Structure 1
């Protein structure tokens, strides 16, 4: 280097200026070839402009996607890959002419639809023009060939359930390939031979960043390709790309990112696609405050996928390390909807203070859904974190009653009336007309097919009870929802007639 500087110093002044121009231009070209993360603001603006307006909730069906797929027939190469068990088409969309192939597939589990929405937002973006993103599109188009399969399990999506019509978990059918949907996904990978793959899923909202109350809004994994969980070049690329994605995620959801356990699952698609030579990145969408339809998480998916494609197109992932990947905290499963601490229960005239944790799970009904609360565990629950927590020190478990006079129908009961009855100790009402499983949003149990209220404080009981102090009712727990009887807050109930 010293000799080179001496040579520069000996150059005539005009040649020296030419030399500076040459070096500056060279460095500029090199800078353009290195990975420069897109700004958070630019990614957010892209989502706002290109969000697909036809998808506003997470319960959509195969038929709703078909016109959205055909809308892109001009810019994308659309191919029918095959059909599901019930005869629904499974299609792919291809875009780009680059050397590096990337395949993205979503909704292998029918009720995991967050990333599917994001893919349609991304289709809109890739088809846009003259909006400040043209250089990015040109880069992606020239460097990458993208293959998208937005809905692998259309039969599961129809019923909004995890498994397919054979009740098989497609993510455990990569080897036997019993299901036609598994055959289609395997053939798509083999025919396309992608260098990178994105395996897009949803996870339970109860996942947290281990041993913290922080919800794991996004969880990531570079799946193992063998039982020894070794790292080869293929898996290492996936890890580095994830490290880059996490850098962006920490700006969006600080400390809200978890890493899945990488124990090898020999039947799973992610593990095997990694094994077959595709650098595979698992994205799992969890929960986010006040986002039941996952529209905010949809935006996050759009942003991190677009950012990751930029990384791959520029090989920007090479600036990251596998150590940065392993530094991402692990997932935990320690979140619950409601945690009640130190509730007093009486057994054989003696009182015992117990902690109790409740989770509410969704079930499909009448084109919508209801929730069923369940007591997951009780005793010492200090390792759990509640979305809602109550210090019940000095409060006693108290059973509820059924209001003796039946109402004509559910329309005769207002939320105010329900709260009035709760304050009197009535936890359930009966109706003469209506149907069991009819959905309602009342803060009280409604009985049609039975006259007995199910409730208790054990793990075999439904979470329906009162908390009282010196005989005065203070709180009600209805189907796992906590209601402050003195200062009830506004909340949405997803209950059904029993």
Structure 2
């Protein structure tokens, strides 16, 4: 089917596509301020905002932090509007230079990683006595940096992608029908930025093609038209991304990819690019052992800070935009657990197959619990797991329910729960649970239930539960697949973290 061309109508007109730094000579590039990985690490450790330490922080958390920054008077802090439900939306401005840069985060309420990094960056820009005064003076004199953290505070409040009107703000650049989308569009018109940073989180299940690695950071220079052509504006974004990738490969080799570059006429990144701002999309993905994305937060801090320095210097122009194409696109092959060659058949029909498992999160206040589900069954050699096991010679074993009632959650230790798990028990009745909804959450490797019945996994079914064992022909239990977590029963459990809830 032939697609008709899309005509973009907008009242926003940015500056000319010519870049104010395009006249920077090659000799100037040798003056570029370079920070090595050790220096970046030291700076982030010093300035990491301690009040933000998990993904489900609320608007009140950042509201109080912004008020502190306003008192410090390093930033110009303005409340530029309110969300649908009346929560304040702020802009923090740093610098007095001619080059205007806009950064906005958390337009999707459940994508908070970059917001944490921005507050780390705020602390850094207010810092002193750390050998960074020259960098701060460079940024302050050359740039006008406009930060809009948490554009969607209503979504953040319930850890939801969309705003309170159930609209995806990143599909409202053309119409501007939401108060939050219209606000971002209005600020873009007023500021007329030459550079933009669109900050998001992506699925943790993207993988880097040709590797078994999750995509930890995904980058994109969005298309400004349906033909995905490259003009000077988009080329600048590509050059910035090549510089970011150069740093990231030192931290997370072969864990960087590009986001899909299909032109999206409703998307803010695409529109900022068409309005004349070299715009970079940063998507925070997955990293094993980093469920709260604190390491990925650090990477955001590093690449954003370095990009701002290179914009101020004009030194990003040294990178060849052609190297942007060397970064592969996201692939969708990743799962939490992949089990290979498991015997799951019965006496009459044998079946040896692969199983892919994913865990879904449900938010409870500032915390969450997970439920594992069977994502796929069959011949899955291309599937990749954060955890994998070759179950050749092993077979499916159903879990048992303990009969002794647990008095309350606090009376059962991790060691006791693990001992039950090793004996083939995955669930036990519990007598009492606290009255608060959060009190039903726990981190034990056993299901606790107050209902009359609880069912463990009786067979492997697509979309079904994941509470069973892998055992050998002698009846020995080798692995537990507990709520979507893979547990090697021969190893210590102390370093494992579970997100569970009383049933």
TM-score, structure 1 as length reference: 0.89
Write out aligned runs for 1:300-319 (5 A): 300-319=299-318
Decide which moves more: 464-473 or 231-240: 464-473
User: SS at the partner of 2:181?
Assistant: helix
Bigger Cα displacement from structure 2, 340-349 vs 256-265: 340-349
Structure 2 distance, partners of 1:409, 1:43, is 46
Name the CA shift for 1:417/1:310 in 2 (closer, same or farther; >3 Å).
Answer: closer
Q: How many residues align?
A: 471
Query: Structure 2 residue aligned with 1:444, among 443, 446, 449?
Result: 446
- Equivalent residue, structure 2, for 1:18: none
Cα deviations by residue, 1:70-125 (Å, 9 ceiling, x for unpaired): 22221111111110111000010111111111000011111211111111121122
2:428 is aligned with 1:434: no
Query: Do 2:211 and 2:254's aligned partners in 1 also have CA atoms closer than 8 Å?
Result: no
Q: Which of 50, 54, 60 is equivalent to 1:53?
A: 50
Q: How far has the Cα of 1:242 moved from its partner?
A: 0.7
Residue of structure 2 equivalent to 1:10: none
Counterparts in 2 of 1:387 and 1:139: CA distance versus 1, 3 Å: same
Q: Provide closer, same or farther for how the CA distance between residues 173 and 449 of structure 1 changes in structure 2, counting only shifts above 3 A.
A: farther
Structure 1 ranges of 4+ moved more than 6 A: none
Unaligned runs of 5+ in 2: 1-24
> Contact (CA 8 Å) 2:468, 2:480: kept in 1 or not?
yes
The correspondence of residues 351-362 of structure 1 with structure 2, limited to 5 A, is 351-362=350-361
The aligned counterpart of 2:78 is 79
Q: Contact 1:342/1:393 (CA < 8 Å) preserved in 2?
A: yes
Q: Give the distance between the partners of 2:443 and 2:127, measured in 1 at CA.
A: 42
Instruction: Provide structure 1 residue ranges, at least 5 long, that are not aligned to the other structure.
Output: 1-27
Determine whether 1:469 maps to 2:478: no
Residue 289 of structure 1: how far off its partner (Å): 3.2
Distance in structure 2 (CA, Å) of the matches to 1:128 and 1:460: 50
TM-score by length of 2: 0.88
- Separation in 2, partners of 1:245, 1:372: 35
Partner of 2:369: 370
The equivalent of 2:296 in structure 1 is 297
CA distance in 2, matches of 1:289, 1:476: 19
| 1:281 paired residue number | 280
Greater shift in the superposed pair: 462-471 or 230-239: 462-471
> Which runs of structure 2 are paired with 1:39-438 in the superposition (5 Å)?
39-73=36-70, 74-347=73-346, 349-434=348-433, 438=440
Secondary structure at the residue paired with 1:72?
A: helix
Tell me, what secondary structure is at the counterpart of 2:352? strand
- 108-117 or 98-107, larger mean C-alpha shift: 108-117
- Distance in 2, matches of 1:67 and 1:277, equals 34
Match of 2:460 in 1: 457
Instruction: Check whether the contact 2:400–2:456 (CA below 8 A) recurs between aligned residues.
Output: no
* RMSD of Structure 2 on Structure 1 (CA): 2.1
Any idea what SS the aligned residue of 1:331 has?
coil
Q: Decide whether the 8 Å contact of 2:29 with 2:318 is kept in 1.
A: no
Q: Is 119-128 or 194-203 further displaced after alignment?
A: 119-128
CA distance in 2, matches of 1:29, 1:234: 19
Post-superposition Cα deviations, 1:265-317, rounded to whole Å, max 9, x if no partner, equal 22211111112221110011112232222222222111111110111111112
**Cα offset, 1:141, TM superposition:** 1.4
Secondary structure of the structure 1 residue equivalent to 2:289? coil
